[in-house]
Amino acid sequence: RGDVVAAGDVLAELDVEALHRQLAQAELAVETAQTDLESAEAQRAYELARARLSLEMERIALDKLRAYDPDADLAVAEVELEQARIDLQAAQAQYDAVKDVADIAMRPEAQALQNATLAYTRAQVAYDRAVSQAAQHTFDVQTQARRVDLARLDVERLEGGVDPRLHQAVAKAELD
């Protein structure tokens, strides 16, 4: 107070170094928030592409299950079982005709009976499996339909975009 000053004399100096540091920190925060947002958007795009492919694969699997007719396999297995039963009866009749012959186990009729018995057993197992698969088919279709629903939900969730808090973080950092 009371000093004589001339035009251009420095009257006071402000220390702006702290302000420059705060500005640099705020700019870094903006860059970090932008990077986080871009990374999240890239990850979401990748996951969305995978989810869409997964949905398509689940739909194809469902279409395949729906197109499958277990009754056709069951009918084939039933026919094969009946044929094996007829063959077994014929082999048994041939065996019975020579069963009193010595060394019956060495005769071709014994071998034929054994082969027919094995074929009948295989046909019975195949038939039982076909019956089981036919009963399971409806459940398989329902389960696959739920997998399609889950895949569709994943796609819908990812189509909603990234977490909105990431956009808010960028906006806050820009304001700061």
CB < 8 Å & 24+ apart, contacts of 118-125: 119/84, 119/87, 119/88, 120/81, 120/84, 120/85, 120/87, 120/88, 122/84, 123/77, 123/80, 123/81, 123/83, 123/84, 123/85, 124/81, 124/84
Is the CA virtual torsion 142, 147, 152, 154 positive or negative? Answer: positive
Q: Where are the alpha helices (DSSP H) in the chain?
A: 17-67, 70-98, 108-159, 164-175
Q: For tokens 């705020």, what's the residue?
A: 26
Judge contact between 170 and 37, C-beta under 8 A.
yes
Residue 11 confidence (pLDDT): 86
Residue 170 confidence (pLDDT): 93
Residue 101 confidence (pLDDT): 87
Judge contact between 112 and 91, C-beta under 8 A.
yes
**Would you tell me the crossing angle of helices 70-98 and 108-159 to the nearest 10 degrees?**
170
Please give the chain's pLDDT, 176 residues, in tens: 888 999 999 988 888 999 999 999 999 999 999 999 999 999 999 999 999 999 999 999 999 999 999 999 999 999 999 999 999 999 999 999 998 888 888 999 999 999 999 999 999 999 999 999 999 999 999 999 999 999 999 999 999 999 999 999 999 999 98
Say whether 31 sits in a helix, a strand or coil. helix
